[in-house]
Amino acid sequence: MNLIFITAGLGSIVVLILGAYAIYLYLQLRAKAAEGKQAIEQLNTQLQAKDAEARQSVQIIARALLQKDLSETEAAMRIAYLSQQVIASDDETEQFSVFRQLAEATSHIPILEDWQMLEKSEKRRLSAERVTIEATYAEFMQASAEKLVNIKQG
């Protein structure tokens, strides 16, 4: 009879220890889930802020293009880059498309230091080529810039 009580007592102790450990693991899991949820919320907040900042930059560049403060190629390169940071609607994606196309069409033309290293004749040739390419896209870019200036924030 004593053996049964001892075995039952030891079994009860084991069950209590396992129950306490299960509660400890449950609390750990709950804390990890809360941390994960908080990290996702923080990431979403950062993405929304980045989206708003990119949209504002797109609007500024589009206005500068409309006011002829930037060349079509420069505006296209900048807006094409920023468009990757915007969570775009279908209509916005369509507007960004023309900027991406011009940026791609002129991507072979050197910029900054590489441009400075070119000979004058090569600069003239590439400038003339750029102007020709820009003329092909100019009407579409102006229309898209008009629409992009009015992108809603968020």
Q: What is the pLDDT of residues 37-88, one digit of tens each?
A: 999 999 999 999 999 999 999 999 999 999 999 999 999 999 999 999 998 8
| Tokens 């129950």 belong to residue | 19
Mean pLDDT (whole number) for 118-147: 93
Burial class (CB in 10 A: 0-12, 13-18, 19+), 82: buried
Q: Supply the mean pLDDT for the chain.
A: 92
Question: In this structure, is residue 59 part of a structural domain?
Answer: yes
Number of domains forming the structure of the chain: 1
* Residue of 73, 62, 79 whose CA lies nearest to 126: 73
Question: In this structure, is residue 20 part of a structural domain?
Answer: yes
Mean pLDDT (whole number) for 9-28: 95
| Tokens of residue 76, six digits | 């296209």
Spatial distance between the Cα atoms of 103 and 50, rounded to a whole number of angstroms? 22
Q: How confident is the model at residue 153 (pLDDT cuts 50, 70, 90)?
A: low
Spatial distance between the Cα atoms of 151 and 154, rounded to a whole number of angstroms? 9
Burial class (CB in 10 A: 0-12, 13-18, 19+), 64: middle
Question: In this structure, is residue 36 part of a structural domain?
Answer: yes
Spatial distance between the Cα atoms of 124 and 135, rounded to a whole number of angstroms? 16
pLDDT of residue 2: 82
Between 151 and 119, residue with greater pLDDT: 119
- Containing domain of residue 69, as a range? 2-149
Q: What is the pTM (predicted TM-score) of this model?
A: 0.75
Spatial distance between the Cα atoms of 17 and 132, rounded to a whole number of angstroms? 80
Q: How confident is the model at residue 111 (pLDDT cuts 50, 70, 90)?
A: confident
Q: Percent of the chain beyond pLDDT 90?
A: 81
Question: In this structure, is residue 67 part of a structural domain?
Answer: yes
Say if residues 70 and 102 touch (Cβ distance below 8 Å).
no
Between 2-11, 77-86, 94-103, the lowest mean confidence (pLDDT) is in: 2-11
pLDDT of residue 49: 93
Question: In this structure, is residue 154 part of a structural domain?
Answer: no
